[in-house]
Amino acid sequence: MKISISSRAGILTLASMAFCFAVETKFWQQGDRTDFEKGTLHRLSLRSDGRIFLAPEFPEIFDSSTPYLWAIASDSKGNLYTAGGGSGSGSAKLFMLDPSGKSRTLAELEGLEIHAIAVDSSDDVYAATDPDGKVYKISADGKSRVFYDPRQKYIWTMAFNSKGDLFVATGDQGEIHRVSRDGKGSVFFKTEETHARSLAIDAQDNLVAGTEPGGLILRVSPAGRGFVLYQAPKREITAVAIAKDGSIYAAGVGNKTATFTLGAPPPSTPAPAPSAPANPPASGSTGPLRSTPPPTLNTGAPAILGGSEVYRINPDGSPRRAWSSAQDIVYAIGFDQSGRTLLGTGNKGKIYRLDTDVLSTLLVDASPTQVTGFGRGSHGELYVVTGNIGRVYRLGAESEKSGTFESDVLDAGAFAYWGRIGYRGAGNIRVSTRSGNLNRPENNWSAWAPLADSGAPSVCESCGGGRASSPSARFLQFKIDIAASSSVPSPEISYVEIAYLPKNVAPSVDEIEVTPPNYRFPTPILSIAPSNSITLPALGQHRRATASSGLEVGSSQTMSYAKGHIGARWAASDENGDSLIYKIEIRGWKESNWRLLKDNVKEKSISWDTTAFPDGEYVLRVTASDAPSNPRNEALQAALVGDPFLIDNTPPQILNLAAVTSGNKIEVRWKARDARSDIDKAEYSVNGGEWLLIQPVNKLSDSPEEEYHLTIDRPSPGELVIAVRVTDEYDNQTVDKVVVK
């Protein structure tokens, strides 16, 4: 898990947090929306600037026992109507809730689901079924009749204009039908898209429609003239809504490479080949789609790629993106009692509120579910319908009296001691913790325990805290209980900081490698001048706790030739992330006492001059210590002895060098011998000419002793000087000569 190890925030300078166990105490900060989103909110809301406060009341008022509900509407008498589908029974149920809260199934209609409900000015109820969509009119006694058949596969939504005409948005020909009060209707507007996916009507009786797959937001005048307000980068406009000031909000989901429509039910039997439509689809239409149900947590439906975006089209026609999420899928748009925009999403049942152009609030977290629709009661009450399972909730204007937040799990990386927990907030706030050594809270964790009074004074009026009383362990979780009171009716919390100290663990030296002889590492460049400046991270990121107490020195792995030198490098680590220093010692293979080669080494490499050491086999011992990051009595160390290596600074011998003349040929023979290493190569030169390579008699340079036989042509009468040079594998050389008369 990702944790923020940060400096002590200026507003919460908790100087008393330091332990006696280590030089540096670490801190886990929770202060951003992304931090708190990893936890669990119960009856709490989370604003995008990281503030947590009491959520609005969200009581459940009806459980339909169907997989999902898609629509909700009310009449003037206070009756609520809701419907959805997914029961697999071959019929779709329309439910009614009376003002007293009693519920009943008002009607059962043919089809897999009811995706749209509308109530006219006379309180007549209309419900549209899918697939092979039809609009039914349902009387107060539950009797139903087909009111209008658009002869389309899907009916996505319906709405009445001020004159009482019913507009029906359909797929898979992307048509919007207008139906008069007597049930007679026809195509009012063709979107030239596959689906007219969403629909709203403004105060001037203009239709605002969203389409799929082009992601168009259209305005259609009462005369039937269309105008594209915005082409969204998303594939499907799942919802549109019109604010009081005339602004249009539209939700777009899915990448435009997707091949399904959100919310379309699957056919219960293999679909027959479609008959030719009366009006063929516009050029570019994709035709009927084999669609899938809405993605739910208990189905195998594919995930919708690309997340979702919400666009606002201002009254002057200018569009802007008002909200986006890479995970949440917007199903519905509504408005609260104050006119602020609400977004119903899945697949975690979150309701968001758009507060300003830059701030939004996760208002309700009702996971796991999908928030599929918003509806208004006859007295302005706001209702919410969900899928997985299909339920109806009331989103109240009043706040909850109390709520709880459970944090994500802090992984200290090792067994840790817990320190003071500081927070910034106001009101009745209680913090408790629990700990354990499993990476998820289970029965074998400790019980929740309240903070103990640390005796430290508060450093600001909005700050509080105490010392965690949970047992030392590797993992920690905190819980915050927030409650309203007469003095602070709207409590909130916006920042939590936990001090902790992982128990010191000894470092580890994992490998030692001796480098090739006669090379050395360059001298590291040390920068020890104190700095009078700091570097801030990117805005919104946390700062580190403190600078490392060890001097950070980088060393190149490039080596330079230096006769007689040898080097070593090693791999070392520390679970606590402590700075390490090293001691390097050497001894002969058959010796018992270690001799210090170099101490307080901050790099993971060393070079030294071997000419002061007798030839022979040696071993190195590297000892790592975490002393730079710990008090002297708490520092730990670990050591590793490397493999034997050879120091060889003595040149080889040339033996029995002789030359014999035979006619115009000269034969030169000699032997080369080295006491410690193999002969690497042999060369010869005639009369001071260039050195020429010669192979040993057996052609392989693989032994401490080699024999050489050289035959050369005598270039001219007179004295010749033939020099030979032999080199061992440690680059030690010997030169000898023979004179031929």
pLDDT of residue 530: 55
Element holding 201 (H helix, E strand): strand 195-201
Instruction: Work out the percent of the chain whose per-residue pLDDT is above 70.
Output: 84
340 contacts 353 by C-beta, under 8 angstroms:
yes
pLDDT of residue 533: 64
Q: Contacts by 201-209 with C-beta closer than 8 Å and gap 24+? A: 201/159, 201/160, 201/161, 201/167, 201/242, 202/242, 202/246, 203/246, 205/161, 205/162, 205/163, 207/159, 207/167, 207/176, 208/240, 208/242, 208/248, 208/250, 209/169, 209/176, 209/240
19-23, 516-520, 575-579, 735-739 — which is least confidently predicted?
19-23
Return the closest-CA partner of residue 673 out of 613, 734, 615: 734
Mean pLDDT highest for which of 219-223, 365-369, 526-530, 709-713? 219-223
One of 3.40.390.30, 3.40.50.720, 3.40.710.10, 2.60.40.10 is the CATH number of 653-740, namely 2.60.40.10
Question: Mean pLDDT throughout 125-150?
Answer: 94
| CA separation for the pair 613, 620 (Å, rounded) | 14
Burial of 723 (0-12, 13-18, 19+ CB in 10 A): middle
| CA separation for the pair 107, 93 (Å, rounded) | 6
Confidence of residue 291 (pLDDT cuts 50, 70, 90): very low
Confidence of residue 22 (pLDDT cuts 50, 70, 90): very low
CATH 2.120.10.30 maps onto the chain at 60-268+281-398
611-620 core/surface letters (b: 16 or more CB in 10 A; e: else) = eebebeebbb
150-159, 452-461, 725-734 — which is least confidently predicted?
452-461
Burial of 592 (0-12, 13-18, 19+ CB in 10 A): exposed
Q: Which residues contact 257 (CB under 8 A, 6 or more apart)?
A: 235, 305
pLDDT for residue 438 is more than 50: yes
List pLDDT tens digits, range 500-542: 998 888 999 999 999 999 999 988 765 545 556 656 566 555 5
Confidence of residue 716 (pLDDT cuts 50, 70, 90): confident
Tell me, what amino acid is at 28? W
Question: Mean pLDDT throughout 480-496?
Answer: 94
Indicate the CATH number for domain 508-525+549-647: 2.60.40.10
Return the closest-CA partner of residue 587 out of 575, 598, 596: 596
Return the closest-CA partner of residue 420 out of 384, 377, 460, 470: 470
Backbone angles phi, psi at 271, to 5 degrees: -70, 135
Task: Provide DSSP, 329-356.
Answer: EEEEEEE-TTS-EEEEEESS-EEEEE-S
Tell me the Ramachandran region of residue 86: left when phi exceeds 0, alpha when psi lies from -120 to 50, beta otherwise.
left
List pLDDT tens digits, range 90-108: 679 999 999 999 999 999 9
pLDDT of residue 545: 39
pLDDT of residue 524: 73
List pLDDT tens digits, range 53-83: 999 999 999 999 999 999 999 999 999 999 9
Whole-prediction pTM value?
Answer: 0.73
Confidence of residue 554 (pLDDT cuts 50, 70, 90): very low
580 contacts 624 by C-beta, under 8 angstroms:
yes
Tell me, what amino acid is at 348? K
Burial of 404 (0-12, 13-18, 19+ CB in 10 A): middle
| CA separation for the pair 111, 264 (Å, rounded) | 12
| CA separation for the pair 466, 249 (Å, rounded) | 46
Hey, is 34 helix, strand or coil?
helix
Confidence of residue 328 (pLDDT cuts 50, 70, 90): very high
pLDDT of residue 367: 79
- Residues of the chain by 3-state class (helix, strand, coil), percent to 5: 5, 50, 50
Confidence of residue 402 (pLDDT cuts 50, 70, 90): very high
pLDDT of residue 366: 83
pLDDT of residue 575: 85
Question: Mean pLDDT throughout 161-166?
Answer: 97
CATH 2.60.40.10 maps onto the chain at 508-525+549-647, 653-740
| CA separation for the pair 503, 363 (Å, rounded) | 40
Confidence of residue 454 (pLDDT cuts 50, 70, 90): low
Element holding 33 (H helix, E strand): helix 33-37
Q: CATH topology for 10-55+403-502?
A: Jelly Rolls (2.60.120)
Q: Which two tokens stand for residue 96?
A: 């009614």
The position carrying tokens 């080097």 is 567
Return the closest-CA partner of residue 433 out of 418, 443, 423: 418
Class of domain 60-268+281-398: mainly beta
pLDDT for residue 301 is more than 70: no
| CA separation for the pair 606, 264 (Å, rounded) | 69
Q: How many Cβ atoms sit within 10 Å of the Cβ of residue 24?
A: 20
Give the torsion through C-alpha atoms of 420, 422, 426, 432, to 10 deg: -50
| CA separation for the pair 437, 303 (Å, rounded) | 34
268 contacts 249 by C-beta, under 8 angstroms:
no
**Which has the higher per-residue pLDDT, 625 or 462?**
625
Q: Which two tokens stand for residue 559?
A: 């080596």
Any bridge partners for residue 44, and if so which?
54
| CA separation for the pair 443, 447 (Å, rounded) | 9
Pairing status of strand 185-190 against strand 195-201: unpaired
Instruction: Give the single-character DSSP code of 36.
Output: H
Q: Which two tokens stand for residue 358?
A: 């830059």
pLDDT for residue 379 is more than 90: no
Calculate the CA 427 to chain-centre distance.
33
CATH 2.60.120 maps onto the chain at 10-55+403-502
pLDDT for residue 260 is more than 60: no
| CA separation for the pair 482, 405 (Å, rounded) | 8
Question: Mean pLDDT throughout 136-150?
Answer: 95
pLDDT for residue 7 is more than 70: no
First-to-last alpha carbon distance for the chain, in angstroms, is: 84
342 contacts 331 by C-beta, under 8 angstroms:
no
Return the closest-CA partner of residue 81 out of 56, 64, 57, 58: 64
- Any idea what the Cα angle at residue 114 is, between residues 112 and 117, rounded to 5°? 170
Q: Which residues contact 330 (CB under 8 A, 6 or more apart)?
A: 238, 239, 251, 253, 308, 310, 343, 344, 345
The per-residue pLDDT of the chain, averaged, comes to 86
List Cα–Cα distances, 21 to 231, 454, 582, in angstroms: 61, 17, 22
30-39, 528-537, 698-707, 711-720 — which is least confidently predicted?
528-537
217-246 core/surface letters (b: 16 or more CB in 10 A; e: else) = bbbbebeeebeebbebebbbbbbbbbbeee
